[in-house]
């Protein structure tokens, strides 16, 4: 097994990763109702510390970004202290961990948010579909409030403060969530961005918010501690794809090398368009490339061997297999997770999956 690239170390900035297996960010809704990380979360991530890199679930950088029930935040002192228990638990087991900063933007509901929070977006474009709430079940997404230019600047600063808070909490770095239909991607996509000011209307302006967040976060905590996640062909959260969007993502790929140490690319399509865009990113981006989407160990190894990526991220397999790298290395069977407990509160289906030597 020693010749498999999956198990070779890699330098990510100043960090030395023990292997090339990344735990992808996955919302699990196990924070408190006040969006504070819990003891269960510390155990959950510590159990998975053998990953070369852990990227946490999406974590709100501000009061306005916490649109789901029981997702964590990192904008107040209690949240920072809660996350510190997580990072210490992971580091005690030799792991490395980045926090994913996820502002939900229009994908929100007031019942999931602190009093006084606003549901904001680049433009007043309501998302199709429902948002799950603990109090009233599924509720239609509301029409979001269109941010003023001053409020856009404030949102950038919220990301910067959240990144600074993350370092205070002991994280090795942050990943900016610019995928899956959340706020940063809402600025990137003309689907949700109808602005005609500095933040919309042309390729460069659609990319402006993402690049400004990346630039200022890098200035605050260092480029080597910043990554970004993109889903160019993704349609999650009512974000229909159009071919002309490729120009925006190519422009982002051209520019992001100045500000981030890695791009985490979600493969939401097996078509020629995505393949060409992925190859373009690989060609022009000078940093680390992480690929994600339903990988098996064999496909992951193939893409590492052929140079398509430097790291491969795995999501769902890490839910039921806290020791996923060890199972891969030993060619052991993988356990299956229970989808009914993926987003429910409590320990069941969260920290109670055994390791291979505990079965």
Give the active site residues: 182
- DSSP assignment string, 244-291: GGHHHHHHHHHHHTTT-SEEEEE----SHHHHHHHHHHHHH--SEEEE
> Whole-angstrom Cα distance, residue 154 to residue 251?
24
**Between the CA atoms of 313, 283, 231 and 173, what dihedral angle is there, to the nearest 10 degrees?**
50
Angle between helices 246-256 and 203-221 (to 10 degrees): 30
Q: What distance lies between CA 97 and its chain's CA centroid?
A: 12
Residue 20's nearest CA partner among 281, 295, 331 is: 295
Distance (Å, rounded) from C-alpha 174 to C-alpha 214? 10
270 exposed, middle or buried (CB, 10 Å; 0-12, 13-18, 19+)?
Answer: exposed
Residues 125 and 190 sit within 8 Å (Cβ to Cβ): no
Residues 259 and 215 sit within 8 Å (Cβ to Cβ): yes
Tell me how far apart the alpha carbons of residues 141 and 128 are, in angstroms, rounded to a whole number. Answer: 7
- Structural tokens at position 170: 């002991």
Distance CA 96, CA 82 (A): 17
How many CB atoms sit inside 10 A of residue 116's CB?
A: 7
Calculate the alpha carbon distances from 97 to 48, 165, 230, 232, 246 in Å: 10, 14, 19, 25, 31
Q: Which helix (H) or strand (E) element contains residue 178?
A: strand 173-178
Give the residue carrying structure tokens 């000078």.
286
Structure token pair of residue 180: 């899956």
């Amino acid at each position: 097994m020693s010749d498999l690239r999956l198990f070779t170390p890699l330098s990510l900035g100043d960090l030395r990763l023990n292997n090339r297996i990344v735990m992808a960010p996955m919302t699990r809704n196990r924070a408190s109702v006040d969006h504070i990380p819990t003891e269960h979360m510390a155990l959950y991530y510590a159990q998975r510390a053998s990953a070369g890199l852990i990227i946490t679930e999406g974590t709100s950088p501000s009061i306005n970004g916490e649109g789901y029930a029981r997702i964590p935040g990192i904008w107040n002192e209690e949240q920072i202290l809660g996350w510190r228990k997580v990072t210490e638990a992971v580091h005690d087991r030799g792991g490395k961990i980045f926090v994913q900063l996820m502002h939900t933007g229009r994908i929100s509901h007031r019942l999931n948010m602190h009093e006084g929070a606003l549901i904001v977006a680049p433009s007043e474009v309501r998302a199709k579909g429902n948002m799950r709430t603990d109090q009233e079940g599924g509720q239609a997404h509301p029409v979001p409030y269109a941010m003023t230019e001053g409020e856009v600047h404030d949102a950038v600063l919220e990301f910067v403060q959240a990144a600074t808070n993350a370092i205070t909490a002991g994280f090795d770095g942050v990943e900016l969530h610019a995928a899956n239909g959340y706020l940063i991607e809402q600025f990137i996509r003309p689907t949700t961005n109808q602005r005609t000011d500095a933040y919309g209307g042309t390729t460069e302006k659609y990319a402006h918010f993402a690049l400004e967040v990346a630039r200022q976060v890098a200035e605050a905590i260092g480029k080597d501690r910043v990554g970004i996640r993109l889903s160019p062909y993704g349609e999650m959260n009512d974000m229909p794809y159009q071919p002309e969007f490729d120009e925006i993502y190519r422009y982002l790929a051209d520019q992001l090398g100045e500000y981030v140490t890695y791009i985490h690319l979600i493969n939401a399509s097996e078509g020629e368009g995505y393949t060409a865009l992925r190859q373009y990113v690989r060609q022009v981006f000078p940093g680390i490339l992480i690929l994600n989407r339903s990988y098996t160990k064999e496909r992951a190894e193939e893409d590492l061997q052929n140079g398509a990526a430097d790291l491969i991220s795995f999501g769902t397999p890490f839910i039921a297999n806290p020791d996923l790298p060890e199972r891969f290395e030993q060619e052991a069977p993988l356990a299956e997770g229970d989808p009914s407990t993926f987003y429910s509160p409590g320990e069941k289906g969260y920290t109670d999956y055994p390791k291979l030597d505990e079965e």
